Amino acid sequence: MDNILVLGTRPTENIETRSNVDGGEWSGWSRQHGLRLDNLSAGGHTVSVQSKNMLGSTDSAETVIKFKIPSPFYSQPEFLIPVGALSAALLILTYVFIARKRRADAALRRSEQRYRNLFDNANDAIMIIDPEEKIILEPTVRRARSTDTQRKN
């Protein structure tokens, strides 16, 4: 059935065509029925195709094919909006974490200073002892001074 030729027609493999992209120069005549388009930018494009008639002259009618190449996914709003929102959230959370850490460190320094003042100014003997080594790590300085003073008297 494929080999039946209707009177006045040409077999498709013998049809010569040429094309142009976006109104550019026409390609040479060819019997290839495919077109490969490389390196087209994102956006709308037009391909025009002409063929030769049975007598070998160019048909005045041309077929125009319009198509659109989408921009890369990473430049589309469907990608940019969520990624931008997540990036902003990450920056905000980082700022909040750093601010809380600084406040906590400042509170710890104040607490350590109060403890140090309490420890250094206590009238009672306070000692920090290491239970494993069984040694005195840090006696109160004031109590140690008063003990030395009492011993000297």
pLDDT per residue as tens digits for the range 46-91: 999 998 877 777 777 788 999 999 888 888 888 999 999 999 999 9
> Is 2 contained in some domain?
no
How many helices, marked H, and strands, marked E, lie in the chain?
Answer: 2, 5
The answer on 89 and 33 residing in a single domain is no
What's at 107, amino acid-wise? A
* Spatial distance between the Cα atoms of 79 and 101, rounded to a whole number of angstroms: 33
> Is 98 contained in some domain?
yes
For residue 52, give the DSSP letter.
Answer: B
> Is 4 contained in some domain?
no
- Cβ–Cβ under 8 Å, residues 68 and 37: no
What's the pTM value of the predicted model, to 2 decimals? 0.48
* Spatial distance between the Cα atoms of 31 and 150, rounded to a whole number of angstroms: 117
Residue after which a domain boundary falls, among 70, 85, 100: 70
What's at 28, amino acid-wise? G
Residue 113's pLDDT band (cuts 50, 70, 90): very high
Q: Give pLDDT, residue 89.
A: 97
Q: According to DSSP H, which parts of 41-140 are helical?
A: 77-121
pLDDT one-digit tens code per residue, 15-36: 888 999 999 999 998 888 788 8
Q: Give pLDDT, residue 111.
A: 95
Quote the number of domains for the chain: 2
User: Containing domain of residue 87, as a range?
Assistant: 77-152
| Encoded tokens for 14 | 């013998």
The answer on 109 and 53 residing in a single domain is no
Residue 110's pLDDT band (cuts 50, 70, 90): very high
